[in-house]
Amino acid sequence: MIVVMKEGASQSEIDRVMELLQSKGLGAHLSVGVETTVIGVIGPKEKVHELGIETLPGVEKLVTVSYPFKLASRPFHPDDTRIEIRGHVVGGPEPTLIAGPCSVETREGLLEIARAIKRSGAHMLRGGAFKPRSSPYSFQGLGEEGLKYLADAREETGLAIVSEVMEPGLVPLVAEYVDVLQIGARNMQNFPLLKAVGRTGKPVLLKRGFSNTIEEWLMSAEYIMAEGNPNVILCERGIRTFETYTRNTLDLNAVPVVKHLSHLPILVDPSHGVGHARYVTDMARAGIAAGAHGVIVEVHKDPSQAWSDGNQTITLEEFDQLARQVRAIHQVMKTFEPAASLV
């Protein structure tokens, strides 16, 4: 349920509601928006009703959230969530650009990619050190060594780093190195893992599972947030369909739907979404035009030599073009914002 405060409600009126809820053992999440202040309540509906909150000074109304996800829902937090990571705001005025190889390979190779994407305006460097591979015989990632290379690249370029964590036991290690913990599509419903990244409080890039509904995806975000971590960034990376000319189908429907249902920022990953380098830039543009807050793409100096996902990896020069185009489309999108308000 949500307590909507009156416009101009005083701090003491807000505190009173918060204290009452907390004293009854109910979860109370305050969201001070530009126009409205709301308090999201977690707990049994009957218990909330018993308190007579509607009669307290400063309270406008009490409303029920009909979604199964609460903390992740738009009504709980009417304004867009913004997450600051090393000076860049995800969900803020500039589109987020994340790029890097599928897997961390050599130290020099990674540094070269990092320098180039930085020059092109990227904010973060991606790269898997622990890789979820369909075959146990494929390269599984460099492990901690790869995380060290990522940290070196951050040190030199100032780029934030994003890397996947696949098991709860490795969360403390990966969290020690990265700025953003990536939860891969295959682990979107690994609930112990979601809880473990939730406990770190670090930003989490939560990819959508390729066979999961938007509701299941938002419930996974809820798992992370229920541990007290509000810093969730959603990432649409393509779902499985009957189509075979592309690796997956980048579900751009998800972008406006998520922005309607949730306040969390959403990125698109056209690399995994289409699976072929030649379509990546087109779909990055399309993702931004659909309203995504940014893109994450796989880049390599020589994609034909990449240790994983070479087919869908673009070159450094192609990334430079992509970054320009994404910024241009985003600029146009800003001019539409008031008319396209989804809330």
Q: In the complex, which residues of this chain contact Mn ion (CB under 5 A)?
A: 102, 309
Q: How many residues does the chain have?
A: 343
Cα(307)–Cα(95) distance, rounded to whole angstroms? 28
Q: Which does 263 bind (CB under 5 to 8 A by kind): ligand PEP, Mn ion, none?
A: none
Q: Is residue 40 within 8 Å of 76, Cβ to Cβ?
A: yes
Q: Which does 185 bind (CB under 5 to 8 A by kind): Mn ion, ligand PEP, none?
A: ligand PEP
Q: Which does 270 bind (CB under 5 to 8 A by kind): Mn ion, ligand PEP, none?
A: none
Closest CA to 122 of 82, 81, 151, 160: 160
How many other C-beta atoms lie within 10 A of the C-beta of residue 106? 12
Q: What's the closest the beta carbon of residue 181 comes to ligand PEP, in angstroms?
A: 12
Q: What's the closest the beta carbon of residue 309 comes to Mn ion, in angstroms?
A: 4
Cα(239)–Cα(230) distance, rounded to whole angstroms? 25
Q: What's the closest the beta carbon of residue 100 comes to ligand PEP, in angstroms?
A: 9
Q: What's the closest the beta carbon of residue 102 comes to ligand PEP, in angstroms?
A: 5
Cα(181)–Cα(232) distance, rounded to whole angstroms? 10
Closest CA to 31 of 56, 49, 9: 9
Phi, psi (degrees; rounded to nearest 5) at 336: -90, -15
Nearer Cβ to Mn ion (1/102): 102
Nearer Cβ to Mn ion (31/163): 163
Q: Which does 74 bind (CB under 5 to 8 A by kind): Mn ion, ligand PEP, none?
A: none
Token pair in block for residue 253: 């429907």
The residue sitting closest to Mn ion, measured at its beta carbon, is: 102
| Binding-site ranges for ligand PEP (CB under 6 A) | 102, 128, 132, 184-186, 207, 237, 272
Name the 3-class secondary structure at 283: helix
Q: What's the closest the beta carbon of residue 134 comes to ligand PEP, in angstroms?
A: 10
Nearer Cβ to ligand PEP (24/301): 301
The residue sitting closest to ligand PEP, measured at its beta carbon, is: 184
